[in-house]
Amino acid sequence: MRIGELAEKVGTSTRALRYYESQGLLGARRSANGYRDYDELDLRVAREIRSLLAIGFALEETRPFVACLRAGNAAGDACPDSVAVYRRKIEEIDECVERLLAVRGHLENQLERARKHKETTCPRLRKSS
């Protein structure tokens, strides 16, 4: 299949596919007229890259998954290097969650402090009859 067809099937642009190729993640054979020619493995690789990017992986982090598919495995995460990337990503997420929870706790404290400050400095006005 040609690059436009691959892009359509994967749901990306031809420019993105050319970029993946320039980064060594996607390989195209060239036909006699110089057009890129992709096969079903390239389709699987491009889909794997896109799905990993969609959940927050950096392009470089997709390399082990691509290598795993190119090695003939049924899935990009069937290899130890891919599993190691999953583990690192989970650690990164856990660290982010911890930081966010710390920020949330700080904001809750600030909000409570602001509420108490308002109560002591701005007494409610009572209606006089």
For residue 128, tell me if it sits in a domain. no
Q: What does the pLDDT read at residue 116?
A: 86
pLDDT tens profile 115-125: 888 777 766 64
Q: What does the pLDDT read at residue 123?
A: 63
CA angle 94, 61, 3 (to 5 degrees): 135
For residue 61, tell me if it sits in a domain. yes
Q: Is the pLDDT of residue 57 over 90?
A: yes
Domain CATH number, residue 105: 1.10.1660.10
Q: What does the pLDDT read at residue 124?
A: 62
Q: What is the 3-state secondary structure (H, E, C) of the chain?
A: CCHHHHHHHHCCCHHHHHHHHHCCCCCCEECCCCCEECCHHHHHHHHHHHHHHHCCCCHHHHHHHHHHHHCCCCCCCCCHHHHHHHHHHHHHHHHHHHHHHHHHHHHHHHHHHHHHHHHHHCCCCCCCC
The arithmetic mean of pLDDT across residues 65-81, rounded, is 97
For residue 51, tell me if it sits in a domain. yes
* Greater model confidence, 10 or 32: 10
Q: Is the pLDDT of residue 128 over 70?
A: no
Q: Is the pLDDT of residue 68 over 90?
A: yes
* Host domain of residue 65: 3-121
Q: What does the pLDDT read at residue 118?
A: 79
For residue 33, tell me if it sits in a domain. yes
For residue 129, tell me if it sits in a domain. no
How many domains does the chain divide into? 1
For residue 127, tell me if it sits in a domain. no
